[in-house]
Structure formats: structure tokens, C-alpha cells
Chains A and B, each alone.
Chain A
Amino acid sequence: MESDYIVIGYGQLALAALLIGVNVALSAALKLGLGKSLLIAALRMVVQLLLIGFVLEWLFTQDNALIILAIALVMTAIAGVSAVNRTQRRFAGIYWHSLLSVLTASALVTGFAMVGIIRVQPWYDPQYLIPLLGMVLGNTLNGISLGLDRFVEGLISQRDQVETLLALGATRWEAAHAQVRNAIRVGMIPTINSMMVMGLVSLPGMMTGQILAGADPIDAVRYQIVILFMIAAGAALGIFGVVLLAYRRLLSPDHQLRLDYLEKAKQ
């Protein structure tokens, strides 16, 4: 592949690592106690990224839809599980709820983008599918853990309100829809905020990358816009799904608020 950007070699990586050295030295001088975790985090980041670099290099040479779909599924599963791991309370089925929501949301959104918008040939071309899916998953994951956490905490803090309504004859939906709405709103806040200031405060990483790689800025911007719409749609679908599934679990068909299903997550 012809490239009109400067390739970074391993020697240059070592030079960049000096930047972290500054932080470590500062931490040691001021006795912040951050040195160790900084080093571990930096090391993990380098190892994980180098590994994923090799995996991607291998993956992009693959032409088997099944292998690529399998990798996509693994990524989705990891996103689904991590979304739950960041919440404070659990209930039976929460992991399935999250997996199902992440899978449905990301498959719909990424599928539509690949086939309908960008029209990649073949539809599973990993050079497009994997990065696009990754962007969608990352944001859906955040939205899901925020929305889920807010929904459950909202039910706990507004328990009297919800049960008063139930006792007055409200259906479970009438009693809890304020909490559902609030949770979806909170889950969407980061996505909406980031779209608001996009380009003013932050230059998105993907666009920066494309520009560094020599792409025409306007082309890069168009890609970025598509990605942001995908992210927003994926997050909205995922949050909606996971909050509704949690609602169906925590508000029983007998119109009861079942906070007894909740357990604190073990740290």
C-alpha cells in the first residue's frame, strides 16, 4: 500500500515512551504514588495495542465471512459484559440483557452502515467492519452502563413514589415510566454532548487518524459524520433495549416493584 504519511518505527516509539517517563519522575518527586500504576497502565496499553495491531493485520488478509463475524461477535460479547461490570447492582439475567441489547443495536447499526450507507464490497470487509463496529460498541457500552445504573438507582431512590403509584392502581408502566425515561436520557447525555461540541472542543480520533494518514479533511469529516450518527443510533438502541429489559425484570407482571432481585456488585 502506498502511504504518504511518516511511518513510525519502534525506535520512535521508545522516544515517545520518554513522555511517560516525565510523569513517572514527577510522581516520584512529589510522592504521588502514581508511578507504579502509570507504568502498568502504559505497559498494558502498549502490549494490548501491539497485539491488536498484529491481529488486525492478520484479520485484514482474511476473506472468510465466518471468521470475521466470529471476531465481531467476540468483540460484542466483551462489550456486553464490560457494560454490566461497571454497574453497581446486579440482578439475574442482567448479563443476557446487556448482551442482547449490545448485539441487536450494534448489528442493526453497523449492518445498515456497511450495506446501506458505505456500501462496502464484500459486505464483511474487515477493514471497514471491524473499526466501525468497534466505535459503535465502545459508545453503546458506555451508554448501557450509564442507563442501566441510573434506572436501577432511580428505582431505589424513588421507591416510595413508584410504590405509591402502584398502590393507587397504576400499572407497572405508569408507575415506572418516569424512571425509564430518565435512565434513557442520562444514558444518551455523553453522546449528545459530544456531538454538540464536536469539532469545536474535540477533534475526533478517527478523523484525526485519517487526516494524519493523508486523507482529504473533507472526506475524513464525512466519514466522521457517518460514524457519529452510527454511534448515536447504536447507543440509543442499546440503552433503550437494556432499560426496557431491566424494567420488565424489576417490575413484575403482577405490577410489583421487585427490588429484592437486586444485589450489590462484588468489588
Chain B
Amino acid sequence: MGELGFGQALLSVENLGRQLGDRWLWRGVSFDLFAGDCLGLVAPSGAGKTLLMRNLVMLDPIQRGTVRFGGKTPSQWGLPAYRSRVMYVPQRAVSIENVAQNVLEGTVQDNLMQVFELGVYHQRQFDFTLIQTWLIQLGRGPEFLNLQGTRLSGGEAQILALLRALQLSPQVLLLDEPTASLDAATTARVEALLLDWLRHPHRACILTSHDAEQIHRFTQRRLNLGEFA
């Protein structure tokens, strides 16, 4: 991103607040996320970690406060353009087959390719070699690409969702429990892949995890949402 000055925050969150009924789940949440940062989001269950992530990509309307990416609000970017740069990977990974009109039964590869049919990516192309490299890093054979999207196990679906997002090279990744359904070995491989991915300049991520050790291993800074209740 040419317009990003050196030392300027990628993502800048100011005084964000979220209300459920009359009760503030959290408010006054402010932080800056710089290139290379990985911020761990910690809080007890039900404290609204997922809701914070949804707010950061405006899947829910922002009730209070502002979010800026590269100095511009999501609406100034246009939401599709913003979400292609600040990408949220939900905890519950779903297959997006049958989006393209003619595909009823989609494989993992169909899933990965179909994203490029979205308007924001019309100038980009599916990179088969890249996906293959990543699959090797994750210890999966090429047959993974031929699995049916709807018949994936929870862990396989998470891998699919992660690869689907990574291949779009967002600048900020919001990972909601990215390894919750994975075994220890695959979790380590995913972490290595993510670290690799983060080495690229102008990239950052926010991570939630029920696994305190993972947060510790993987993130340099932590934001405890419980303190903003």
C-alpha cells in the first residue's frame, strides 16, 4: 500500500463500544495495529471477542467509536474493498459452494477458486502453485483439493477457510479460534504457516484462542476485553 507511511498504524481502533440491550459488553476499546503485529484477544467466553472481530469488519453495525484502516473508515473504502484488506476468518468455517451458478457440488479447489469470481478480486487469479506449497507446509497431500466441500471435518473446514483467506493476501487477518478443531501437530504447522505469512511487510493479525499457550506463543501483545466491560 503506497499510501501507508512508515510507522503509521495499519488498523486504528478508537473508543469502540458494543451494547447488548442495555448492557455494554465492552466500551472504550482503543488500540493501534502496526505492520508485523500480532495482537492476542483474550477474555472469558461470552465477553464478546467474536463480536469485536465482527465489528472490526463491520459485519455488525458499529454502535460507538471508529475503526480506520490506512487512515480511512470502512465506509470510505467501500465495504468489499475494506474486507478484502481486513479479513475476518470466522470460527465456524463453511463451504461456499453453490455460489457460482453452475457449481452444485463443490470441491475444496472449487471453493478456493470461486472466491476470485467476486468483483473485488476480478484482477487477480487463483494461484495453484501457492496453494500446493501451503498444503505441503500443512502436511496435506494434493488429494485434499478434491474433497467435497460439504463433507469436510471441522478441522479440514478450518484449513480450507484459512487457505481461502490467505490466498487473497489481506493485510490484516482476524483469526477467530483458527485452530480450535485441529490436532496438535497440524496446529503447529498452521502456526508456522501464519508466522511465515506475517513476515511479509505491511501485514498484521489479531487472534483469539481458547488455548492460552497459543496466545502466548503466537502474539506479542494482548488485549484483555474483560477490562473494558
Contact = CB atoms under 8 A, between A and B. Distances in A.
B79 interface: yes
B58 A169 contact: no
A121 to B, nearest CB: 47
Nearest to B89: A167
A62 interface: no
B119 A174 contact: yes
A56 interface: no
B98 interface: yes
A41 to B, nearest CB: 43
Q: For this complex, into which size category does the number of interface residues on chain A fall?
A: 10 to 19
Given A254-B79, A256-B60, A257-B59, A168 B164 contact: yes
A167 B93 CA distance: 12
A164 B94 contact: yes
Given A161-B94, A254-B79, A255-B79, A167 B59 contact: yes
Of the listed residues A161, A169, A178, A255, the one surrounded by the most CB atoms of chain B closer than 10 A to its CB is A169
Contacts of A252: 61
B87 A168 contact: yes
A160 B176 CA distance: 14
A84 B58 CA distance: 30
A180 to B, nearest CB: 12
B28 interface: no
A169 B118 contact: yes
A255 B83 CA distance: 10
Contacts of A165: 96, 99, 118
A178 B79 contact: no
A167 B55 CA distance: 11
B168 A168 contact: yes
Contact of B92 (A160, A166, A178): A160
Q: For this complex, into which size category does the number of interface residues on chain B fall?
A: 20 to 34
A254 B119 contact: no
A171 interface: yes
A213 B83 CA distance: 65
B121 interface: yes
A174 B118 CA distance: 7
A125 interface: no
Interface in B52-92: 57-61, 74-75, 79-81, 83-84, 87-90, 92
A46 interface: no
Contacts of B88: 167
Nearest to A171: B80
Contact of A169 (B75, B81, B90, B96): B81
B38 interface: no
A153 interface: no
A160 B89 CA distance: 11
B115 interface: yes
Contacts of B43: none
B59 A169 contact: no
A169 B94 contact: no
Contacts of A256: 58-61, 79
Interface in B2-52: none
A252 B79 CA distance: 11
Nearest to A256: B59
A69 interface: no
Interface of B: 57-61, 74-75, 79-81, 83-84, 87-90, 92-94, 96, 98-99, 115, 118-121, 161, 164-165, 168
Interface of A: 160-161, 163-171, 174, 178, 252, 254-257
Given A167-B59, A168-B84, 17 more contacts: A163-B90, A164-B94, A167-B87, A167-B90, A168-B168, A169-B81, A169-B84, A169-B120, A169-B121, A170-B118, A170-B120, A171-B119, A178-B99, A254-B75, A254-B79, A255-B79, A256-B79
The 7 closest A-B CB pairs, nearest first, are A169-B84, A255-B79, A169-B120, A160-B94, A167-B88, A169-B83, A169-B80
